[in-house]
A and B are shown apart, each in its own frame.
Chain A
Amino acid sequence: MTRVAPEKVAALHAMLVERKLANADAPPAELARERPWFVSLLLGAAGWLAGLFALVLLAGMLEPQEKGFIIYGLLLQVAAFFLYSAATDSPFFDQLALMASIAGQLSFAFGVGDATDSPTATGASLLVLQVLILLVMPSQLARTLAALFAAVAWAVTLRLAILGESMFSSRATVGLGTMLVLWFVVWLPVIVLLYTLVRRETRWMASAMRERGRATVIGLAIAAALGQPLTAQWDYGGGLNATAYATDWLWPLLGVGVAACVGYWAFQLRSRALLGVAIVGALGHLSHFYYLLGTTLLQKSFAMLLLGGLLIALGRRLRKGVAAEAPP
């Protein structure tokens, strides 16, 4: 396992001992280096795909009915928990556990969906399951994925609950007020929670909740930056039509705003990976403007020129402020 250089850890520890903020007798810490994002992506993607194959294998071998899927789903979570707990620092068991957990979650979702015949109930039960995984599972990757999927389940459940039958044709049947209510109900708590977690980072880092807090910050930040389409107006019935509503510009604008907030918090956390996610999210939401055919190209052009000029002027003013504050 890669470790942070011991002399760095020792220097930090010595400083804290000097200030009487740490115990001098504690044995030196051997800190594992953070796994690069692309290695985590490789492991996560492979684990997910393996979980999918495992679920199909399970269904093919055991041929369970609706309750059977739920029971197998929960049993697989228990198996994943023991696999994670039994072998710390073993990537093989970690991957095996991730596969079991993913297969279990999919099995659980399928079983609940089949038993209740209600997408809202399925979404809500998945939300509960993800929160439980976030709190209980002894793996940082599993916790982070759980936080991300919990946010997605939260958004989908509320969308289903508020819009009901018009889930997929909200453009034609749902008013702006309802969509705005949905957006605020879904994203305001997420944004407030993220803001609080970033602001009070040192507090929760000093408690037993530090790993869960970290996973929640990363999972929620990714969901907020990329998940904005979950609360936008959709119209899959008639495609993108030319009589779109004049307020369509609102959704990508809100999305860009949230992605910008995530980018700022990523900078606060000094996380390049999260900053990259925020940039991808912002560009994705911005590109949505192109498809908003209800607004003329000229209007879009003026809006962008005006906003672009404003941003550059603001940036220039800020830079001058920084230069003025600098000592000669």
Chain B
Amino acid sequence: LRNTNRKNPRRALVPTIKSAHVKRSELDAFAKHYNLGTEGVEAAFAFVGARPSRAEVQSFVARSLTIAGALLIAAGVVFFVAANWQAMGIYGRFVLVEVFVLLTAALAIRKPPPRIVGRAALLLAFIGSGALFALFGQTYQTGADLYELFVTWALLGLPFAFAASWGPLWGVWLLVVNTALGLIAGFRPDGLLGTFFSSGELVHSELVLCILANLALWAVFTNLTGVANARWVSRLALTAAFGFACWAGVLATFGGMGAGDFSLADLLVLALVVGLCVGVARHALLLKADIYPLSLVAGTTILLVTTGLGRMLVEGGLLTLALLAAWLVVSSTIAARRLMEYSAEWRLE
């Protein structure tokens, strides 16, 4: 076991909880097996670095405060612009937001990444640029759709994200991209469920675009190390891809409802979702690095088969209920078992 109690607090300037090589549940089991007393548990804690050092805690708090402060200032600027909308002239509005973007960009140049101040400044600049595009769209009434604002924001904000090479900024960037994709696919803020089941307004091809775009981003974040510097960002992109796949799959499953049969588009979408599951599973099994993609495949499969069985509920009655309960128990059991087995094998290799 590596003693993760860092002697040099400078190293703890980038606080992390990665150092927990032995997790709490494992320590619980260890304490139980060897019947440890309080002193024994404390010694084990110190040995494996189960509790963060004072320097680590201070760094964590400092980092959290900086990120929270940066986000609050960004939101405050957006609110300030909105509040003074009527009172300010057009030039005043633009000057205010542009000065904000310029100041934050200048701060990032002065204290460049990977310093936290530079990264936080770039995050602010990215959010400020979004406010600037919104201002432009509203002032000149370009007639553009709302999704175009988000697409422009995502594209023109890319340099900030690349310059920061920082997970939180890429996470926000992914949210902007997926907001644009969601708007393209038909999501409207006045109610997700209403949109989800109103298949008439949704076009399958747009949902397919959302899946493929997120899949491409996942490939980029997974293969180009140093872009986001965080595995959770690539996982977020893949989660979004599977989120849209579930949306498309559920719609396609119920697409034939009422009409009595599936349309060709429904079948194509279902085939694409199956292809996505097979492709991602195959890739994960070849790479043998992370079971998260496999768990998404498992979850999507369970959801779509459950939805398919649910379609039969209208005619099947109680028998279908029994079938659904049995399917959920058996499928989730097998999935969890296989996932944990892969996790064990890959860790050893």
Contact for A205 among B8, B21, B41, CB less than 8 A: B41
Query: In the complex, how many angstroms separate the beta carbon of A194 from the nearest chain B beta carbon?
Result: 15
Q: Are A39 and B295 in contact, CB atoms less than 8 angstroms apart?
A: yes
Q: Interface digits, A191-213 against B, CB 8 Å rule (1 contact, 0 not)?
A: 00000000000110110001100
B73 touches A308 (CB 8 A): yes
- A95-B43 contact given A42-B298, A312-B69, CB 8 Å threshold: no
Contact of A92 (CB < 8 Å), options: B25, B324, B329 = B329
Q: Which residues of B contact A16 (CB under 8 A)?
A: 34, 36, 40, 43-44
Residue of B31, B64, B72, B337 near A210 (CB, 8 A) is B31
Contacts of B83 in A (CB 8 A): 296-298, 300-301
Question: Which chain A positions have C-beta within 8 A of B60?
Answer: 267
Q: Could you say which of A91, A313, A314 has the most chain B C-beta atoms within 10 Å of its C-beta?
A: A91
- When the two chains form their complex, are residues A203 and B38 in contact, meaning their CB atoms are under 8 A apart? yes
Question: Given A42-B299, A53-B324, A21 and B22 touching (CB < 8 A)?
Answer: no
CB-based contact A312/B76 at 8 Å: no
State whether A311 touches B9 (Cβ < 8 A).
Answer: no
Q: Would B55 and A322 count as touching, CB distance under 8 A? A: yes
Contact with A along B245-282 (1 / 0, CB 8 A): 00000000000000000000000000000000000000
**Is chain B's interface secondary structure helix, strand, loop, or mixed overall?**
helix
- Tell me whether B325 and A312 are in contact (CB under 8 A): no
Whether, in the assembled complex, B204 has its beta carbon less than 8 Å from a beta carbon of chain A, the answer is: no
B325 and A60 within 8 A (CB): no
Q: Please give the number of chain B residues whose Cβ is less than 8 angstroms from any Cβ of chain A in the complex.
A: 97
Question: Is B201 part of the binding interface, using a Cβ–Cβ cutoff of 8 Å?
Answer: no
Any chain B CB within 8 A of the CB of A136? no
- Complex contact B47–A12 (CB within 8 A): yes
Contact between chains at A318 and B42 (CB < 8 Å):
no
Interface string of A3-22 (1 = CB under 8 A from B): 11000110111011001011
Q: Which A residues are in CB contact (< 8 Å) with B325?
A: 50-51, 53-54, 57, 99
Docked-complex contact B36 and A21, CB < 8 angstroms = yes
Q: Report the bound CA distance from A21 to B341 in whole Å.
A: 33
Binds A, one of B11-19, B151-159, B210-218, B220-228: B11-19
Known contacts A23-B34, A206-B31, A305-B73, A268 near B51 by CB under 8 Å: yes
Q: When chains A and B are docked, how far (Å) is the Cα of A272 from the Cα of B52?
A: 13
Residue on B nearest A40 in the bound complex, by CB? B336
Q: Digitize A280-312: 1 where CB-to-B-CB distance is under 8 Å, 0 elsewhere.
A: 000000000000000011101111110111111
Q: Choose from B24, B37, B343 the contact partner of A269 (Cβ within 8 Å).
A: B24
- Asked whether, in the complex, the Cβ of B52 is within 8 Å of the Cβ of A270, the reply is yes
Query: Is the beta-carbon distance between B30 and A270 smaller than 8 angstroms?
Result: no
Contact B79 A214 (CB under 8 A): no
| Interface check B10, CB cutoff 8 A | yes
Q: How far is the CA of A301 from the CA of B76 in the complex (A)?
A: 4
Is the pair B13, A319 in contact by a Cβ cutoff of 8 Å? yes
Please, which residue of chain A has its CB at the minimum distance from the CB of B42?
Answer: A202
Q: When A and B form their complex, which 4 residue pairs have the shortest distance between CB atoms, in order from nearest? A: A308-B72, A311-B69, A304-B76, A46-B332
A sample of 25 cross-chain residue pairs with beta-carbon separation below 8 angstroms, ordered by A number, consists of A2-B343, A12-B30, A12-B44, A21-B36, A21-B37, A23-B34, A29-B33, A32-B25, A35-B340, A39-B295, A39-B340, A42-B299, A43-B336, A57-B322, A92-B333, A206-B31, A264-B61, A271-B17, A272-B17, A304-B72, A307-B69, A308-B76, A314-B65, A318-B58, A327-B8
Residues of B within 8 A of A (CB): 1, 8-10, 12-13, 15, 17, 19-45, 47-48, 50-52, 55, 57-66, 68-77, 79-80, 82-84, 116-117, 120, 291-292, 295, 298-299, 302, 306, 317-318, 321-322, 324-325, 328-333, 335-337, 339-341, 343-344, 347
Beyond A50-B324, A206-B31, A315-B65, 17 extra complex contacts between A and B, CB < 8 Å: A12-B30, A33-B347, A35-B336, A36-B343, A45-B299, A46-B329, A56-B321, A60-B321, A95-B332, A202-B42, A270-B17, A301-B77, A305-B80, A308-B70, A312-B66, A325-B55, A327-B8
